[in-house]
Structure 1
C-alpha cells in the first residue's frame, strides 16, 4: 500500500518515530526507577499498543471505558482515576484495575468499601502549584475541583491509603521548573508521603522534547523516591507520541477575500479539536517560514473561525494538493466527532518495514449509528 493512494483525510502514525520517543522513556526508567503508565486520555489508538507495551508499565485512565481498554488491550498495570465516579462505575472497574484513585475524600469515603481487597487505593491531591501554559489546562487554577487541597486534608484518611496522585503539569519542557514543583510537594505533603507505598506525579512532563535533560530529571525523581520511600509513577501522554503522526489532508478549494484561503477536507472542530480549543495553530510539513505565498489553511466545516493555521509556501498551492498537518496524535483521535457529518479520518500506521497498516476506517453507517439506532418507534 502506497500512502499516495490513500484517501484523505487520514492519520498516519510512524512506528520509527514512536520508537524514538519510547527509547528515551526506557532510558528515563532505567536511570530513575520510575514507572511509566500511558495516559489514555491523550492517546488510545490501541492498534499500535504492540509497539508501546514493551517500553511502558501499563496505562492510566480518566473514565471507566479507558480502564476497560487499558486492561483488555495493553495489560501491565491498569490505573483507574476519574474526577467523579458513580457507584456503578466503581463496581465496573474495581475488579480489573490495579490502582483506583479517587478525586475527593467524599468519593473515597462513599466507595472505598467496593475497592478494598481488590485494588490498591489512592487519592488525588492538589499541590496548589503547577506548570501550565493556559488557565483552561491548569490543574491548580483558582477554585480547582481536581484533587484535595492541602488545607482540606483529613489526616486520618492516610491510615488506609496506599498511594496518592498529583497532576500539575501541561507540556512542561523545563526540567528545573519540574524539580521546583517536586520540592514544593515534598515541603507541603512530605509527612503524608512518607507513609505511602507509591506516588504518581501525573503527566505533562515533556521529557522527549529536543534538548530535554533526561539525566537531570531522572536524578531528581530518584532523590524524591528515596527521600519518601515510595515507588514513583509518571503518566506520559504527549511525551510518548509527540511528532509521530501526521493528519494528511487535500486542498479542495482556494478562495480569496483579501487573503487566500486553502480549504482542506478536514476540520479542527471535528478532527483536531485542541487546535480550536487552545488557539494553537497547527504546523504544515510543506510550509516554508520565508515562503512568498501565504495562505490560511481553512477547514471545510461551517464554523466561521475554523482554521488550522496561516502558513507560507515557496510555491502557490493547488487544488488536489496534499498537506501533512504535523504532530497530530495527542488529543486528536480520542476527540474525533461527527460535526457537520464530515468524513472521519482513517487511521494508519507506517511500520518500520515500510508497510502501511490500516488500523481503522469509518463510513456513513458509523455516523448514522452514533445518533440513533433502529428500530425507531
Structure 2
C-alpha cells in the first residue's frame, strides 16, 4: 500500500517515531525504578499496543470503558480512576483492575467495600500546586473538584488505602519545575506517603521532549521513592505518542477574502478538537514560516472560526494538494466526533519495515449507527 493512494483524511502513525519515544521511556524506567502506565484518555488506539506493551507496565484510565479496554488489549497493570464513579461503574471494573483510585473520600467510603480483596485501593490528593499552561487544564485551579486538598484529609480515610495519586502537570517540559512540585508533595504529605505502598504522580511530564534531562528526572524520582519507601508510577500519554502521527488532509478549495484560506477535507471541531478548545494552532509539514505565500488552513465544517492555523508556504497551494498536520495523536483520535456528518479519518500505521497497515476505517453506517438504532419488524 502506498500512502499517496489512501483517501484523505487519515491518521498515519509512524512506528519508528513511536519506538524512539518508547526508548526514552525505557531509559527512565531503568534509571529510576518508576513504573509507567499509558494514559488511555490521551491515546487509546489499541491497534498499535503491540508496539507499546514491551516498554510500559500497563494502562491507566479515566472511565469504565477505558478500564476494560486496557485490561483486554494491553494487559499488565490496569489502573482504574474516575472523577465520579457510579456504583455500577465500580461493579463493572472491580474484577478487571489492579488498582482503583477514588477521587474523593466520600466515594471511597461509599464503594470501597465493592473493591476490597479484588484491587489495591487508592485516593487522589490535590497538592494545590501545579504546572499547566492554561486554567482549563490546571488540576489545582480555584475550586478544583479533582482530588482531596491537604486541609480536607481525614486521617482514617488515608489510613485505609494502600496508595495515593497526584496529577498536577500538563505538558511540563521543565525538569526543575517538576522537581519543585515533587518537593512540595513530599513536604505536604510526607507523613502519609511513608505509610503507602505506591504513589502515582500522574501524567503531563514531558520527558520525551527534545533535550529533556532524563537522568536528572530519574534521580529525583528515585530519591523520592527511596525517601518514602514507595513504588512510584507515572502516567504518560502525550509523552509516549508526541510527534509520531500526522493527520493527512487534502485542499478542496481556496477562497480569498483579504486573506487566502485553503479549505481542507477535515475540521478541528470534528477531528482535532484540542486545536479549537485550547486555541493551539496546528503545525503543517509543508509550511515554511519564511515563505512568501500566506494562508489560513481552514476546516470544511460550518463553524465560522474552525481553522487549523495561519501559516506560510514557499509556493502557492493548489486544490488537490495534500498537507500533513503534524503531531496529531494525543487527545485527538480519542475525541473524534461526527459533527457536520463529515467523513471520519481512517487510521493507519507505518510499520518499521515500511509496510502500511490499516488499523481502522469508518463509513456512513458508523455515522448513522452513532445517532439512533432501530429494529425492523
TM range (shorter): over 0.9
- TM-superposed CA distance for 1:375, in Å, is 2.5
- Residue number in structure 2 paired with 1:342: 342
Distance in 1 separating the partners of 2:280 and 2:86:
34
Alignment of 1:33-44 (within 5 A): 33-44=33-44
Q: RMSD in angstroms over aligned alpha carbons?
A: 0.7
- Residue number in structure 2 paired with 1:87: 87
Q: How many residue pairs get matched?
A: 377
- SS of residue paired to 1:270: helix
Alignment of 1:18-97 (within 5 A): 18-97=18-97
- Residue number in structure 2 paired with 1:184: 184
Cα offsets for 1:268-315 (capped at 9, x unmatched):
000000000000000000000100000000000000000000010000
Distance in 1 separating the partners of 2:300 and 2:289:
25
Cα offsets for 1:245-286 (capped at 9, x unmatched):
000000000000000000000000000000000000000000
**Structure 2: 5+ residue runs without aligned partners?**
none
Alignment of 1:1-377 (within 5 A): 1-375=1-375
- TM-superposed CA distance for 1:168, in Å, is 0.0
- TM-superposed CA distance for 1:60, in Å, is 0.1
- TM-superposed CA distance for 1:374, in Å, is 1.7
Distance in 2 separating the partners of 1:339 and 1:181:
39
Question: Any conservation in 1 of the 2:165–2:200 contact (CA below 8 Å)?
Answer: yes
Distance in 1 separating the partners of 2:58 and 2:187:
29
- SS of residue paired to 2:23: helix
Question: Any conservation in 1 of the 2:204–2:237 contact (CA below 8 Å)?
Answer: yes
- SS of residue paired to 2:172: coil
- SS of residue paired to 1:239: helix
Distance in 2 separating the partners of 1:207 and 1:198:
21
Question: Any conservation in 1 of the 2:123–2:158 contact (CA below 8 Å)?
Answer: no
Question: Any conservation in 1 of the 2:253–2:262 contact (CA below 8 Å)?
Answer: yes
Distance in 2 separating the partners of 1:336 and 1:159:
41
Distance in 2 separating the partners of 1:130 and 1:376:
54
TM-score by length of 2: 0.99
- SS of residue paired to 1:84: coil
**Structure 1: 5+ residue runs without aligned partners?**
none
- TM-superposed CA distance for 1:376, in Å, is 7.5
Distance in 2 separating the partners of 1:300 and 1:239:
30
Distance in 1 separating the partners of 2:120 and 2:272:
36
Distance in 2 separating the partners of 1:288 and 1:61:
38
Question: Any conservation in 1 of the 2:131–2:138 contact (CA below 8 Å)?
Answer: yes
Question: Any conservation in 1 of the 2:286–2:313 contact (CA below 8 Å)?
Answer: yes
Distance in 2 separating the partners of 1:136 and 1:375:
42
Cα offsets for 1:62-92 (capped at 9, x unmatched):
0000000000000000000000000000000
TM-score by length of 1: 0.99
- TM-superposed CA distance for 1:158, in Å, is 2.0
Distance in 2 separating the partners of 1:135 and 1:82:
20
- SS of residue paired to 1:316: coil
- SS of residue paired to 1:210: coil
Cα offsets for 1:84-111 (capped at 9, x unmatched):
0000000000000000000000000000
Moved over 2 A (4+): none
Cα offsets for 1:209-262 (capped at 9, x unmatched):
000000000000000000000000000000000000000000000000000000
- SS of residue paired to 1:91: helix
- SS of residue paired to 1:291: coil
Cα offsets for 1:20-49 (capped at 9, x unmatched):
000000000000000000000000000000
